[in-house]
Structure 1
Amino acid sequence: MAVLLLRLAGPMQAWGVKSRFTVRATELAPTKSGVIGMLASAVGRRRTDPIEDLLKLRFGVRKDQPGTVIRDFHTARSLDGKDSMPLSERYYLTDAVFLAGIEGDYALLQGLDEAVKHPVFPLYLGRRSCPPTQPVSLGLRDAPLYDALKEEPWLASPWFRRRRRDSAFNAELLLDRDAVPDDAHTGALRGSRDVPMSFDPRRREYGFRQVERLEVQVTAPADEPSSSADTHDPMADVEEAAQCS
């Protein structure tokens, strides 16, 4: 077994599990269905194509930078502009960074890694309006899912790390992973309908997924900047131009 690590970060993300009708909610972390859909897009599968091989992969996600929930009050009209469409509220996560792990057969993950780096269809973080920043793939790790997620350095932005770390270079982060029935569970268990049995728009089906929540201590990157390193002044160029005019 191996683990493919994915860095899921961008201006906005939206990971829906309960979105219905005019309220399009988001979970507070990437969903398994959303990440499986992203991998299926990367390899070029269409919504009606089978995904049984992807469903066998074990999924986990670490919340490196939780982000903030915002609401978009969405209006729309028909293509001819004559009729108003139903108003909707769409929720997004902004300024968030997650580390996702996919555990499975090495050959399958190797192909997925290459596909994420050179995707057939565009990748997005839950919705088409949410493109990811690069890099998405962090490569393969020869370790169990929990160890791979725990050992990877903290991916949060430098400013966030300076605010939130618990000691010089460490932080306690939340980690969710697929619960396996035969495992000894040390974290809290919860469940949701987050297993995509079919993405076919004519008959979308989702199965039940049980998740174990744990806390892990991670270290910041070795090149962690000091608090005085960020000296960028965004108004400096404006002030210099005003003095020259």
Structure 2
Amino acid sequence: MADAAATAPVTAALLVIGDEILSGRTKDRNIGYIADYLTAIGIDLKEVRVVPDEEDEIVAAVNALRQRYTYLFTTGGIGPTHDDITADSVAKAFGVPIDEDPRAIAMLLERIRPEDLNAARRRMARIPHGAELVANSVSKAPGFWIGNVIVMAGVPAIMQAMLDEVAPKLKTGVKMQSVSIRADAKEGDIAIPLGEIAKAHPDVIIGSYPFNDERGFNTNVVVRARDEAKLRAAQAAVEAMLAAWHGRAA
């Protein structure tokens, strides 16, 4: 049982918060970065949701996702403006109060003069009770971590700094390994035998991704697994299938 627990996947969801994302005014630059980052450290990003700056929507999404995955990361909505309501919404989801946190005020004062720490900027120091702060080396306004929910800024540079801050504290699983095989075939030509290989290797993830090159329509086959022996066995099966297909097509 201990070995199974040690090799169990660590999963995550990402909740992107902001009307500006849904309207198209701001183009999200965080999803791909977070997906790459988590994959590299052995965490599977399983779901991404985008919700507006509406308390009920944020609360419902937080409560659904935090129960389903090992971690829930959020981006956006922790700034100084009236529509930055992520902190309040997360506090409501957990059923805890929210107040100015002296630790957060001290962080803000590292960058802001006391006389400039107005009511709007003090909003960035409102932290749900029981949360740990996530340091922000870029602008000092912190994120926070409560339960398995990690709340980060939406500005990419700040989000990246916060992710670097929390990464060493995250539980991670066995890293996913992958190999990409250029098929030199159209996706429809190899779909049936590729499906048969996938059934024969249930612990391996096999995907086909069409693209265009100088040959016209082409396909990359990507094989992914945590166990290297299973990865190599599936890779060999795919390569053998492609060799057979090219032999028939010649």
Q: TM-score, normalised by structure 2?
A: 0.26
Q: TM-score, normalised by structure 1?
A: 0.26
Q: Structure 1 or 2: larger strand share?
A: 1
* Greater relative contact order (CA < 8 Å, ≥ 6 in sequence): 1
Q: Which has the larger radius of gyration?
A: 2
Q: Structure 1 or 2: larger helix share?
A: 2
